[in-house]
Amino acid sequence: MDTRSFSPALFSLSIPVILILAATVHADWRASGKNGAVVAGKAGSADAGLEILKQRGNAADAAAAALLALSVTDSSAFCFGGEVPIIVYDAKRDVLEVVAGMGTAPRLATLEYFEKNGGIRGGTIQSAAVPAALDACVTLLDRFGTMTFAQAASPMLRLLDEGNEKWHADLARTVGSLIEAEKKAEDRKRGLRLVADYFYRGPVARKIDAWSRANGGLIRYSDLAAHVTRIEEPVKADYRGYTVCKCGPWTQGPYLAQTLNLLEGFDLKSMGFQRPQTIHVIVEAMKLALADRDVYYADPLFVNVPTDELLSDKYTELRRSLIDLHGASLIQRPGDPRQMKALLDKAKTRAGLGGAPKDTSTCLVADRWGNVVAATPSGWGGVLAGDTGVWLGSRLISFNTWKDHPNCIQPGKRPRITLTPTIVLKNDKPVLAVSVAGGDTQDQATLQIVTNYIDFDLSADELVSTPRYATEHYVGSFSQTTPTLAALTISPDMGTECLDKLRKLGHVINPKDKSGRVPQERTALVIDHETALLHAAGDPGADSPRTTGAF
């Protein structure tokens, strides 16, 4: 990714002219401009990314700055020691790649350990995966960016200096030591590697090791020293002339691709925007894809995930035939992609410890050169690693302890996580980026955003503010909560008639939340190639509204 590389299909004006003519529209939850746009978490995070864009940093530089800032502004949702899957479109190389920012289970995190200690429980020192967020940001800068770690971390340091928690000062010292390590290098790329080495193979790693040993944790220096951030190919689905790009089956992302494949066989536009039949078909397609997610998805470095078969035309046709236009399914129905059968024989009913989904944050950036970054950072509910200021997450609870399951915990393995950013291409160029907070419902919201954009031509503002719905017809990803079969949480703004028709189809309108509150916080960034405008929008109705900036 290079700031000197223009995307002719997107921008036909020279930079000086754009700087003069670019329209700036700014509000807390929406913004538009021609030079760059950011949508991220709470106040301060989007500003961090926008500051870097105005310094002529590119989308990767700005995304790294916003992510680092999020570990302060959204520390209850995303921490410095958490995780962040990232999808990047590099305009210069015209490629789209995944930065797999997910840590592994420590070597001591064995199935036997958790069987003896009551299972994997969130919010404990034992549920921390190897921290991945910092190295993901360093890798983002190294592979796609133009700036140093010190430059990207500058907004974060200001936020830490303004904070009044003890860990703010501790983390500022840790970040300062990383910057000092970077200064020892003569070139930018070498400096970035020194930052990673200082954290994962130097003094910070040794501090985390000592603290973990003293407090009953499982992370050791060897786990940190072995950590690497992989660059992977995205999983793709072609939907009505668009290409929807997701991270691999170590996330829940491919199930969105499966769902879109199923929906390709239905004319949603003719069915109508948010009409009962449209909602019914979308929910039933999601149920089928979620059932496959719950059975097959896991770290493909450890198990053979049948991703190609799950996304194949033949399997899609078999599964599509199970969608009943006149009634909701009342059981989980995984298929058998290896045997090319619509239903899996003797599918097992699973249930784990149970646990409520936690918060996550969001980050989307586009720049004037056509580069786009979509990231979904998290790391909630963790513990503070001594005086490092580094919060460790609880992501091991996304594993299970079923010995015969692909996602069973194993040392060195990545848990199958819910975090799932999205970039949508048209004619091989980005037109939409999406990031959603909300656990298992993240891709349910993303699916509605993608179909509303492609099938119903909604604007960025409308994509994040329209009424929404979500099913609980799945095994929960946080300690494996039992499915609530046929349950549908839906906004009452859909109207009484719509809800009554969905009930008649067999959907159980969720009695637990009569308000229809769906636990999602949606963000979208639309790239309009005709006007060269970037439109960023963050869910105005969320508990923690997303902030935006553009110029």
The enclosing domain of 506 has a CATH number of: 1.10.246.130
542 vs 547, residue with greater confidence: 547
Q: What is the mean pLDDT of residues 374-390?
A: 92
Burial readout 91-100 (b: 16 or more C-beta within 10 A, e: otherwise): bbeeebbbbb
Q: What is the mean pLDDT of residues 33-56?
A: 96
Instruction: Determine what percent of the chain is predicted with pLDDT higher than 70.
Output: 91
Strand partners, 374: 87, 364
Tell me: do 416 and 432 sit in the same domain: no
Model confidence at 358: pLDDT above 60? no
Evaluate whether residue 267 is within a structural domain.
yes
Tell me: do 364 and 469 sit in the same domain: no
Task: Give me 150's structure tokens.
Answer: 């010190």
| SS3 assignment for 256-292 | HHHHHHHHCCCCHHHHCCCCHHHHHHHHHHHHHHHHH
Stated as kind and residue range, the H or E segment containing 191 is helix 188-200
The number of distinct structural domains making up the chain is: 2
- Listed in sequence order, the DSSP H helices in 370-493 are 442-454, 460-465
**Looking at 406, 421, 436, which one is the last position of a domain?**
421
**Looking at 421, 456, 473, which one is the last position of a domain?**
421
Model confidence at 19: pLDDT above 60? no
Tell me: do 221 and 257 sit in the same domain: no
Predicted confidence band of residue 349 (pLDDT cuts 50, 70, 90): confident
Q: pTM of the prediction?
A: 0.94
Residues 6 or more apart in contact with residue 103 via CB below 8 angstroms: 83, 129, 130, 131, 132, 227, 395, 414
Model confidence at 499: pLDDT above 50? yes
Burial class (CB in 10 A: 0-12, 13-18, 19+), 241: exposed
Evaluate whether residue 3 is within a structural domain.
no
3-state class of 527 per DSSP? strand
Evaluate whether residue 32 is within a structural domain.
no
pLDDT number for residue 516: 62
Evaluate whether residue 544 is within a structural domain.
no
pLDDT number for residue 354: 60
Model confidence at 289: pLDDT above 70? yes
Cα angle 73, 459, 378; round to 5: 25
The strand pair at 508-509 and 487-490 is best described as parallel
Predicted confidence band of residue 4 (pLDDT cuts 50, 70, 90): very low
Lowest mean pLDDT segment, chosen from 149-163, 370-384, 438-452: 370-384
The range of the structural domain enclosing residue 174 comes to 54-231+360-421
Predicted confidence band of residue 380 (pLDDT cuts 50, 70, 90): confident
447 vs 381, residue with greater confidence: 447
Stated as kind and residue range, the H or E segment containing 180 is helix 166-182
The strand pair at 487-490 and 95-101 is best described as unpaired
Model confidence at 103: pLDDT above 70? yes
First vs last C-alpha separation in the chain = 21
Model confidence at 422: pLDDT above 90? yes
Model confidence at 21: pLDDT above 80? no
